A and B are shown apart, each in its own frame.
Chain A
């Protein structure tokens, strides 16, 4: 358990760093596009596509960090009314389902990546498959963080947030 926490807390911190870097990059590239167009009458054509790749990275890494820190919105008022034992098993089910979702993201993005590999993103010349890379990594993180929660539940411990 301890080595797992060491790995996942580091993973989640790195996910957060990547998401923050992508958000900062997103800001820079969009402002750069505005300045180039407005001041120099020379709009860089690739801004839109780069920005789209960055925003999906912010989203997937941010969402993954949200899984570890239990940041996603859910309905817990009904589960709260159950007996502690039932509540425990509901919680286990939630974590198992989250693992399943992560695996589905992973598998689906691999499939999509393979089927769109030969197409190119306009104005970038990059393969369309790159669009699915953040989803693939996000899927892995979703699964890993949910497994950590699962183990923590059985061990009777809490997952300590790696950032606030």
Chain B
């Protein structure tokens, strides 16, 4: 059968290409029995909509930001904790490894089958001025997504979190309705926010991953062999994805520099005091002993 998978990105975006590749591999593994059709461009609804459809079984699979699961699977909050990962190597080692698998397994009790995480780079702050220290960000109006975690994260830095729809951020930055926003390089590039807020400070405060999720309702109707084939294909799609994502991130960084954006490199950021300021946020969201154990396991991973 053809599994339908939804995505909010355009057809040529790495997440979509990776899932298409996963479909090809699945088709080969099952002798053409199963394959995947990707519906991009939000055509089947927003991330929230498609997650709910996967739960009902109206949709077989979905690729969303793991932030979409914050209100559904408490474990999904962990990789979004501020400054959890030291760098991208640390992220890959844990999230593509045993700790990532543990978090994916937690999706099961909410009615989902977690298949794989994909990295989405680090999100950093951008504004009209550099943000190197806590003093720099104090009192700034920072645009956030409507999320408890992001609101707490920004408040903990002494800034004023300002929820706002993405489409209005450009004008908001330009007119001074907000002072800063935060995102990864590819989004900073595509949204052209650098025209309004040209200083990108590599605070790298959060590395919220993308997640690939299957519908448990549909999953339970599949044979053991099919399930295994899907898991393998999903796991192998990570390599395809990373190979596409890395140059995309690099190109985006080069593009914004060429367009006149100034970059404050990570080395110039007072990361220590940022991390200290975010400690209460960890305690607020990693509440149970199990969650705390998982956090230390990730932190301790060398």
Contacts and interface: CB of A to CB of B under 8 A. Distances in A.
Question: Is chain B in direct contact with chain A in the complex (CB below 8 A)?
Answer: yes
Interface of A: 37, 41-43, 45, 47-49, 111-112, 115-116, 118-123, 128
A111 B148 CA distance: 27
Contacts of A48: 146, 163
Given A37-B162, A43-B160, A119 B147 contact: no
Contact of A118 (B70, B72, B151): B72
A42 B147 CA distance: 16
Interface secondary structure of B, over-half rule: mixed
Interface of B: 52, 55-56, 70-72, 110, 139, 141, 144, 146-148, 151, 160-163
A112 B58 CA distance: 12
Q: Which of A41, A45, A49, A128 has the most CB of B within 10 A?
A: A45
B141 A128 contact: no
A115 B72 CA distance: 11
Nearest to B151: A45
A115 B55 contact: yes
A123 B72 contact: no
A123 B147 contact: yes
Nearest to A40: B160
B204 to A, nearest CB: 23
A9 to B, nearest CB: 37
A128 B162 contact: no
B160 A45 contact: no
Contacts of A41: 139, 141, 160
Indicate the member of A37, A43, A47, A128 with the most B CB atoms within 10 Å.
A43
A122 B146 contact: yes
Nearest to B110: A118
Nearest to A42: B160
Contacts of B151: 45, 123
Given A41-B139, A116-B52, A122 B162 contact: no
Contacts of B56: 111, 115
B80 to A, nearest CB: 12
